[in-house]
Chains A and B, each alone.
Chain A
Amino acid sequence: MKPAPFDYLAPSSIAEACQLLSEAGGGATILAGGQTLMPLLALRMSQPFILIDITRIAALKGVTRNAGITRIGPILRQNEAIADPTLAQAQPLIVTATRHVGHHQTRNRGTIGGSIALGEPAAELPATSVALGASLELTSTRGTRRIAAEEFYFGPYATALEPDELLTGIHVPEWQSGTVWMFREISQRPGDFGLVGLTGALTVKDGRIERAGIAWFGMGPTPIKARQVEAALLGQSINTLDPRALAELAIADTAPFDDHHASAEYRRTVGKRVFASALSETLNLRAAA
């Protein structure tokens, strides 16, 4: 289990990285935290000619807030994100989701951007960025474009990222005050990918749900936005809402499958329960506040 040969390059700027990607013509792979890529290299499931280490690019670090948007530098390490006071204030759901990513040791290396860019359908951060309505900043020598997280994921490890593009920023809208957060993950062991995962935000104003962003992970080939239940929740009074009645609708957009770890039926059944209990707990907390 040793990686196949490659050239290792560690550019110090985004421009340099994009130049290298462009020249590689699809033969390069980006190395950020490496916590998923390194096993793939060791198993020779990934055999790039060039490995571009972006962790020495200062411009890809940091968390900034501007005009209701939090911009997260993609190479922010997951444990740095958990400890980051700005994120704790502006994006508590990202922090909660990140706590569930892998293990303490892998979070010391793994990055927020790496997890989001990779597109593992059972991972926490892609779904959370979809739920929150984040947009992803993709840069290449051709320029920079923004794409909604919701439109970024095509299938397992298949994303809209072009071979010459680099994820250079994660823009997460800041949900206004009155927002409550939901995060549930059912995994066999701590640190495993979720068998069933639910992540989302609800903004409550005057006792009614004004805005909803909910997404599933481990419930299909990509992170899945629960559009139907989001629509159904809008305008509802939190005092009369029956979470159980909405459970079927909550999983209506999902497309879970049987795999080594759980059956599709399991994911659907537990998904409904997870949704109902997460929603009632979240709204109870809101009502009590």
Chain B
Amino acid sequence: MSQHQINLTINGRPHCSTVEGRLTLSDFLRGDAGYTGVHVGCEHGVCGACTVIVDGNAVRSCLMLAVQADGSKITTVEGLAADDGTLHPVQQAMKDECALQCGFCTPGIVMTLTALTNCANKPSGDTLVQAMSGHICRCTGYQGIKRAAMKLGGDAA
């Protein structure tokens, strides 16, 4: 049962911690680092609620070990809105389109859309909707999520 020191940046802040080899990144972010906006819905990589951005890419944090994140830059849903509370454009689009109900799957969806819309090549609404295949929402029937994705891609819903 190995222990490892890891150094990483979370939402712009450097973070240093000692972790057990088997600790998942999602448990590390929620527990040791205190970013409880990372939601754990299935722990086997299907639901997508735990999605965070690691070095620019949207990944499932339950399918990564904390130790693997050593040296990386991580953004969680807590790292998006401005200090004055102004929502990130993805969060605002989700709000405007009523894309959430219980809010449990929401952080993961926000992080995927954020990672993709941060790319140099602006993705189409369709591309964003395709990436939603990796997120399960049990409340909304995806109506608002689809509209938000299309809007962020510059397409009419």
Contacts and interface: CB of A to CB of B under 8 A. Distances in A.
Contacts of A3: 22, 24
- Chain A's interface: helix, strand, loop or mixed, by majority? loop
Given A35-B45, A103-B48, A106-B134, A8 B2 contact: yes
B21 A8 contact: yes
B131 interface: yes
A255 to B, nearest CB: 28
B45 A106 contact: yes
Interface residues of B, number: 30
Interface stretch (B63-71, B74-82, B94-102, B137-145): B63-71
9 contacts: A5-B1, A6-B2, A34-B65, A42-B44, A103-B48, A103-B131, A104-B130, A106-B134, A109-B63
Contact of B63 (A4, A35, A51): A35
Interface of A: 1-10, 31, 34-35, 38-39, 41-43, 51, 53, 55, 79, 102-106, 108-109, 189-191
Q: Chain B contact residues: over half helix, strand or loop, or mixed?
A: mixed
Contacts of A9: 2
A31 B22 CA distance: 12
Contact of B44 (A4, A8, A43): A43
B147 interface: no
A6 B133 contact: no
B60 interface: yes
B63 A39 contact: yes
Contacts of A191: 133-134
Interface stretch (B7-15, B51-59, B84-92, B148-156): B51-59
Contacts of B38: none
Contacts of B51: 105
Nearest to B70: A10
B48 A8 contact: no
Contact of B22 (A4, A34, A43, A108): A4
A18 to B, nearest CB: 20
The 9 residue pairs across chains A and B that have the minimum distance between CB atoms: A103-B134, A8-B21, A39-B44, A108-B57, A104-B131, A190-B133, A5-B1, A1-B43, A38-B63
Nearest to A39: B44
B112 interface: yes
